[in-house]
Amino acid sequence: MPEYNWPEPSKRRHIGKRTSRLDGPDKTTGHATYSYDVNRPGMLFAKILTCPHAHAKITKLDVSAAKSMAGVKSVRITQDVGTEIQWELDEIVAVAATSEEVADDAIRAIQIEYELLPHFVTEEHKDKAPSSEVAKEESTGDPDAAAAAAEVKIKGFYGIPAISHCCMEPHGQVCEWEGQDQLTAWCSTQAVSGLPGQFADKLEIPTSNVRVITPYMGGGFGSKFSADRWGIDCAEMAKEAQAPVKLFLERNAELAVAGDRPSAYAKIEVGAKKDGTLTYWSSESWGSGGIAGSRGSPPLPYVVEVPNRRQKHISVVTNSATARAWRAPNHPQACFLTMSALEDLAAALKMEPLDFFLKNVGLMGERSDIYESELQKCADLIGWKQRWHPRGEGKGPIKQGLGLALHTWGGRAHNSNCEVTVYPDGNVEAKLGSQDLGTGTKTVIAMVLAETFGLGLDDVKVHIGDSRYPASGGSGGSTTVGGVSSSTRRAALNALAQVFEKVAPGLDAAADQLEIENGAIQVKGTPDRSLSWRKAAARIGPTPITASGKNPGPGKLNDSGVGGVQMADVSVDVETGVVKINQLVAVQDCGLIIDLKTAESQVYGALIMGASYALMEEKILDPVSGRMLNADMEFYKLPGIGDVGKLEVHMMTGERHDKRGVIGLGEPPVISTGAAISNAVANAIGVRVPYLPLTPDRVLDALAKGGAA
């Protein structure tokens, strides 16, 4: 039995180094085949008739003209006469035809009529909602006594809207049958191993008959774990037509239906002693994630465990498609609500927010020492001590300000299986039913593999993105890197142990006396009794060695629970309300880092995504028609490079973090960005803009109510 651990820092060839992602060249040159790019011989194209109303009953549906059109191979009614449709762009009929144009013509030939029903899409006004319920209500300590005793108290209202995932590659797949019961689906999914069961269940075939392939992924952010109704329709149409079918969502449906981060609004009261010690929290929050309500509730107060606290969350139902997990579900909302209120309290206390948070660092749980280091590091990087000023100071129309926020996330490694093969020529490969969402998963697996065998990255191959490989968890909740690095490490160590068994006799040693060192197998501590890797591999005989490894498993290779601090430097034009980000700094821990470069890259991406929802993103649903007015890439505003400012990332490394093992990183760095930017704007202009995104109308509105104009 090998010992399952990570190599000592001094012996690491790859782990912790900056490695460029291995599929970068394929992606940048267009060689990478995304599911959207898959074209099969004889393939048909599918289009969907969607409902233009937010709430309506289907009163008439006639697809006969579409069915009889030349080139139309399958017409599938998803929702028939009598069905009550609850959100705009919900799927009614799917059509597969020989070309996109014929499919479009067929959709237009469908006759459909609706009876319009009243809709509700403006959940900020929760009192007008036809349906809402208390989702959570809890109390700790004695909030009433703490409220009475608090020396300084503030009340505030804050709101963060629903936003869309806005995946560049929309949801969808290509489905192809072999015979009557063997399905291959090229899906844009975050769950290669999990999807076959979903297809099989709906299609009533054995799960082993479904193969899902996802070599590259064009963005999911939590929205792509389901086969979805359109996936089942695609498979059914392919079966009926006896031809492969490609079905991907149109951009408007991608934005309106396939992505949604629930909104959150809150009335918050928070109090402290004069010295800044937090004593009291009370919040009444509400939000909506569409027709299924708010889907959970923001964890309030966030990060800081105020001793006396009360929280109530109300789930509001709106006529909008059901929310999907969005990068750190509920955390960005909780962070914005909490950090805004705390910054407002710090201003009332006339304390620097940095001092205020350091004062309360003891309320930040078991890793408060890490938060303390991260606060200091982040402050150093942005020059907080030299540059911070009290709220609203500054001359001229351009006001500059600094803000901060901090966050937490779990990131526990998911279940993962890996199979490693060592070939007699020395080649090594790993197979996992995992997927690379663009985060660098494949690169990380290759690094672990190469590290374990003492090889270069060119000497190893990694195969992922196919459900025929050993099952690995879906990529959600920042669980992937912990899972795949651990299963790969264990499989590789198991394979290496078998190699040691084969070469031990030739080195006159027992297998457990061998080690890998500098690309060779040697008797421990004895370089002159060694065999190069190639020569050693040649001794395994004609049959390759195969070994598997899984997570969870023996040895401490991973952990959960991370934190991070972010600071923002902004300029606000108080005559126009335009907010410009000058700089964003992120300091983040995530245990042992495998690839420093792709880890940093994750954080850079998160800062851009955070800047985006801080300044621009919002699903705008029309109160009149119930439609999403900005379900396009023009009015669903995303930043360009000139909008995000200078980005700086610092990853926490060293023994304190290394010994914890690997922890996921996908979600946490996006959590604080909105709150940090909002706090920086409050610092700049002297007044809180209660809403995200921080658009000119909202900034000017806040200024009109009192601020540094």
Partner 1 sequence: MRAFEYASPETREDAVKLLSSKAGETAVLAGGTDLLSLMKDEVVTPARVVNIKSVEGLGGISYDAGSGLRIGPLLKLDDLEADSRVRSDYPSLQQAVDGVRSPQIRTMGTVGGDLCQRPRCWYYRHGFGLLAKWQGKAMVPDGDNRYHAILGAGPAYFVNPSSLAPALIALGARVNILGPKGSRTVDLASFYRAPSREEESENVLAADEIVTDILVPTAAGRKSATYEVREKEALDWPLAAAAVSLQMSGSTVKEARVVLGHVAPTPWISKSAGQALKGKTVSPETAMQAGEAAIAGATPLSRNRYKIQLARVAVKRAVLRATGMEEV
Dihedral of CA 343/344/345/348: which sign?
positive
Q: Which listed range, 13-21, 449-457, 640-648, 679-687, lies at the site for partner 1 (CB under 8 A)? A: 640-648
Stretch that binds partner 1, among 71-79, 154-162, 315-323, 569-577 (CB under 8 A): 569-577
Q: Any contact of residue 390 with partner 1 (CB under 8 A)?
A: no
Spell out a b/e string for 49-69, using b for 16 or more CB atoms within 10 Å of the CB, else e.
Answer: bbbebbbbebeebebeebeee
- The answer to whether 163 touches 618, Cβ cutoff 8 Å, is yes
- Binding of partner 1 by 178 (CB under 8 A): no
**395, 425, 641, 655: which one binds partner 1 (CB under 8 A):** 641
In DSSP notation, 13-66 reads SSTTB----TTHHHHHTT-S--GGG---TT-EEEEEEE--SSSEEEEEEE-HHH
Please choose, out of 101-109, 158-166, 256-264, 407-415, the segment that lies near partner 1 by the rule CB under 8 A.
101-109
Residues sharing a CB contact under 8 Å with residue 352, sequence separation 6 or more, in sequence order: 346, 388
Binding mask 573-602 for partner 1 (x = CB under 8 A): x-xxxx------------------------
- Where does this chain touch partner 1 (CB under 8 A) — which range of 359-367, 526-534, 572-580, 646-654? 572-580
Residue number with CB closer to partner 1 (206 or 623): 623
62 part of the interface to partner 1, by CB under 8 A: no
Q: Rule CB under 8 A: is residue 348 a binding residue for partner 1?
A: no
117 lines the binding site for partner 1 (CB under 8 A) = no
Binding partner 1 (rule: CB under 8 A), the pick from 138, 632, 705, 706 is 632
With contact defined as beta carbons under 8 Å apart, do 687 and 50 qualify? no
Site for partner 1 contains 627 (CB under 8 A)? yes
Coil/strand/helix, residue 672: coil
**Strand runs labelled E in 482-616:** 514-517, 520-523, 526-532, 545-551, 562-573, 578-588
Q: Are 418 and 490 in contact (CB under 8 A)?
A: yes
The whole-angstrom separation of Cα 592 and Cα 7 is 11
Q: Which of 377, 637, 653, 708 binds partner 1 (CB under 8 A)?
A: 637
Phi/psi of residue 211, nearest 5 degrees:
-115, 125
Q: Please tell me the distance from the alpha carbon of residue 432 to that of residue 419, in angstroms, as a whole number.
A: 7
What is the rounded distance in angstroms from the CA atom of residue 432 to the CA atom of residue 416?
8
- Binding segment for partner 1 among 1-9, 225-233, 374-382, 612-620 (CB under 8 A)? 612-620
Q: Which is nearer to partner 1, 137 or 632 (CB)?
A: 632
Choosing from 457, 497, 616, 708, the residue that interacts with partner 1 (CB under 8 A) is 616
Cα separation, 119 vs 53, in Å, equals 9
How far apart are the C-alpha atoms of 173 and 240, rounded to whole Å? 17
Name which position in 629, 653, 656, 708 contacts partner 1 (CB under 8 A). Answer: 629
104 binds partner 1 (CB under 8 A): yes
Instruction: List helix spans (H) across 504-593.
Output: 533-538
Q: Measured from the CB atom, is 491 or 703 closer to partner 1?
A: 703
Shortest distance, position 370 Cβ to partner 1, whole Å: 35
The whole-angstrom separation of Cα 259 and Cα 253 is: 9
**Least CB distance to partner 1 at residue 43 (A):** 20
Enumerate residues 677-706 that contact partner 1 by CB under 8 A: 695-697, 700-701
635 binds partner 1 (CB under 8 A): yes
The token pair that represents 90 in the structure block: 């919900």
Name the residue nearer to partner 1 (CB basis): 22 or 644: 644
Query: CB of 575: closest distance to partner 1 in angstroms?
Result: 5
Select the residue interacting with partner 1 from 438, 639, 668, 686 (CB under 8 A). 639
Strand order in the sheet with 91-97: 72-77, 91-97, 44-50, 245-248, 172-178, 182-187, 210-213
Which residues in this chain contact partner 1 in the complex, by CB under 8 A? 101, 104-105, 108, 396-398, 573, 575-578, 615-616, 620, 622-625, 627, 629-630, 632, 634-635, 637-643, 695-697, 700-701
